């Protein structure tokens, strides 16, 4: 599988690149800064220098030729203003979708954020524009004929990954208050790329008890996750 990752130097993106490379996939990371290519290559990927804020779909589409999927993992970052959150978190996500359509790449995984569905309620000067940009990128993607999946992680941490998550269309307060490691977000994205049944779904993610692959499969079936180690051992004992 060849996957092109927008925001290829981001913390989740580099983890995702490493996971894909370890299983023999080709990961291509789009980076704005040429100095970041070495980090993408160290993770096992191939870097392409392209500034999504100052490029056209026509310039990006050739980079996507032959890809099986694209992942939007870019973000303007916490120190950016509202205008840049719009041009990156919304505009660049739409640009990637435009280019994917031109290149004939159907599979698109968008890393969004918990709270995007309540963006208009957020008055915080930093989080409000960020969540509104994420909400707009989600709405744009849902209006396309791409095979999209939206992933909304909770609060991100750099703790070591656990391999266990909760992944459901709506986690309520568990999503608002919950956290998830960047390692486990990357692992979940790999699972989503492999699971056709999650196309057209918006899923919220926090750390929990379910093994990542089992949680992804349960989400694809429209069932609450019950892929904990204990549940899998019990099921195996019945066989």
Residues 178-232: pLDDT tens digits? 999 999 999 999 999 999 999 999 999 999 999 999 999 999 999 876 554 444 4
Closest residue by Cα to residue 98 from 131, 141, 132: 141
Pairing of β 46-49 and β 2-6: unpaired
What residue ranges define each of the domains in the chain, with the CATH number in brackets? Answer: 2-238 (3.40.50.720)
Q: What's the whole-model pTM score?
A: 0.91
Pairing of β 164-168 and β 69-72: unpaired
Share in percent of the chain as helix, strand, coil (round to 5): 50, 20, 30
Percentage of the chain surpassing pLDDT 70?
Answer: 92
SS3 state of residue 118: helix
Helices first, then strands: H and E counts in the chain: 10, 11
SS3 state of residue 224: coil
SS3 state of residue 232: helix
- Of 217 and 127, which is predicted with more confidence? 217
> Residue 127: what pLDDT?
76
């Amino acid at each position: 599988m060849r996957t092109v990752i927008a925001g290829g130097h981001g913390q989740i993106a580099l983890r995702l690149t490493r996971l894909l490379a370890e299983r023999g996939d080709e990961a291509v990371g789009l980076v704005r800064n040429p100095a970041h290519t070495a980090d993408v290559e160290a993770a096992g990927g191939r870097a392409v220098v392209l500034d999504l804020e100052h490029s056209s779909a026509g310039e990006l589409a050739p980079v996507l030729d032959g890809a099986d999927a694209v992942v939007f993992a870019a973000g303007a970052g916490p120190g950016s203003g509202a205008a840049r959150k719009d041009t990156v978190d919304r505009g660049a996500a739409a640009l990637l979708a435009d280019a994917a359509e031109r290149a004939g790449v159907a599979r698109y995984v968008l890393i969004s954020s918990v709270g995007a569905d309540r963006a208009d309620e957020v008055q915080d000067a930093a989080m409000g524009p960020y969540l509104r940009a994420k909400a707009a990128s989600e709405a744009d993607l849902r209006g396309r004929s791409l095979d999209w999946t939206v992933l909304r992680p909770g609060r991100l941490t750099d703790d070591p990954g656990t391999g266990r998550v909760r992944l459901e269309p709506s986690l309520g307060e568990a999503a608002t208050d919950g956290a998830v490691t960047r390692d486990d977000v990357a692992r979940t994205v790999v699972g989503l790329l492999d699971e056709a049944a999650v196309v057209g779904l918006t899923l919220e993610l926090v750390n929990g008890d379910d093994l990542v692959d089992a949680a992804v499969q349960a989400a694809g079936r429209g069932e609450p996750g019950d892929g904990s180690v204990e549940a899998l051992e019990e099921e195996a004992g019945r066989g």
